[in-house]
Amino acid sequence: MILALLSTCSIATVDMNRSSNPAVSDISELKRQIQADDDTRQRAALALGTIGTNECIEPMLIALSDENERVRTYAMMGIGRGIAAKNCTSEFLAAIFPALVRLLNLPDSVFGHASPLLLEMDRSRATPILLSPEYFTTTNRELHYLLKALNQYGCHVPHERLLTLLAELKPRVDNYPHDYQYSEALIAYGLNPDDTAESWIRAELNSENKKVRHGAAEALELFNGLRPYSHICDIMEKSGFDALTDPQKYYYAVSNYGSQVENGGHSQYFWNSSGERWQSALAGLRAIGAAKRATILQEAAARFGADGPPIARMPRVIAVERMQAQVKKPFADLDDQFCSADEDFDVLLPLYAIDNKSHFTQALAHSSNL
């Protein structure tokens, strides 16, 4: 709803509840606001992109060429929402397409919105543009966003372009954004491999650069035709956690354990619903070879008593609150140990999935083969 986006006193209310199309007067007010102060322009750009009718073309072109990076970003966020809601007219999308192309190599960051928007709007038109020498070059600081979008949409980068890019980037990975570019190029190689892809990708699992290691691990998953987490979520959506095999449970539980502890420590992990699967996480840590973090989780569980944390959430939350009443951060030492451990889940989990491939097999859908 646009109403929620235009909530400050300087922004006119656009009531999207009245009908699927906002009143002409609402759009006229947004056109006026696209020339106002920075905050107003941001919100107006977001609203206009979300509406996406022909009347929005002129002010949206102004927003996409705005000197303020945030205005341009909000405009692209709005376009994404408009596309998702099926609001945008074909004329609107065709008119703003060239303006988005001009953002592909802008010196300042636009958070990677332009590339996926172009692919979503017209993949056959966008793909050769993204792969053109003007944009598909290491001198373009937005290259990793471009590669990421191509990878997400399953667009294959031709080998002659990809191998040249990999060779050019490999000696530069100590410097940002070349490590991000190389990581996405490895993923592209996993999506569209040749006879040497596996050996090249596996060699990068030992890279000193964390971003490169993670890219190599994801690339190796894709090389093996796997998207483990998505595969697991599909099963859970239909049949629940109990329908998973043990390797699937381990992968899912360890993945959630890692993200929760990295975000808010063991207190957050046990507080949230993910904590009910701590036993699967513990078994999973041992299965993937993360012995240090298995010991850490085992110690954290032991602080609840001999039986460990309750499986039911409310008793577990109450237990955490009791511990926090005695010590503000009851797991602070274990949180520090977790962060210091050199076990990289973003590498160990993909390798575990590959070693247990039959549990994670899911066909990859590639939308183009260039």
Spatial contact of 220 and 350, defined as CB atoms under 8 Å apart: yes
Could you give the percent of the chain with pLDDT greater than 70? 90
Say what the pLDDT of residue 265 is.
Answer: 98
Domain ranges of the chain: 1-102, 229-359
Distance between CA atoms of residues 46 and 168, nearest Å: 38
- Would you say residue 24 has pLDDT above 50? yes
At residue 214, the pLDDT reads 98
Phi, psi of 41 (to 5 degrees): -65, -40
**At the topology level of CATH, where does 1-102 sit?**
Leucine-rich Repeat Variant (1.25.10)
Query: H or E element: which one contains 214?
Result: helix 210-223
CB 12 within 8 A of CB 53: no
Question: Is the model's pLDDT at 268 over the cut of 90?
Answer: yes
185-227 residue pLDDT tens: 999 999 999 999 999 999 999 999 999 999 999 999 999 999 9
HSE-CB of 215 using CA atoms within 13 angstroms: 29
Q: Can you read off the two tokens belonging to residue 58?
A: 């002129």
CB contact at 8 A, 27 and 45 = no
Q: Each residue of 275-304: pLDDT tens digit? A: 999 999 999 999 999 999 999 999 999 999
Model confidence pTM above 0.95? no
pLDDT in tens, 29-48: 887 788 889 899 999 999 99
Pick the closest to residue 282 from 270, 294, 267 (CA basis).
294
What pLDDT is recorded for position 27? 80
The pair of three-digit structure tokens given for residue 354, joined into one six-digit string:
């590959």
Rounded CA-CA distance 64/87 in Å is 18
- Inform me whether the pLDDT recorded for 235 exceeds 90: yes
Q: In the 8-state DSSP scheme, what is residue 260?
A: H
> What average pLDDT score do residues 246-259 get?
98
What does each C-alpha distance from 346 to 170, 171, 246, 298 come to in angstroms?
Answer: 20, 23, 19, 21
Confidence band for 9, pLDDT divided at 50, 70 and 90: very low
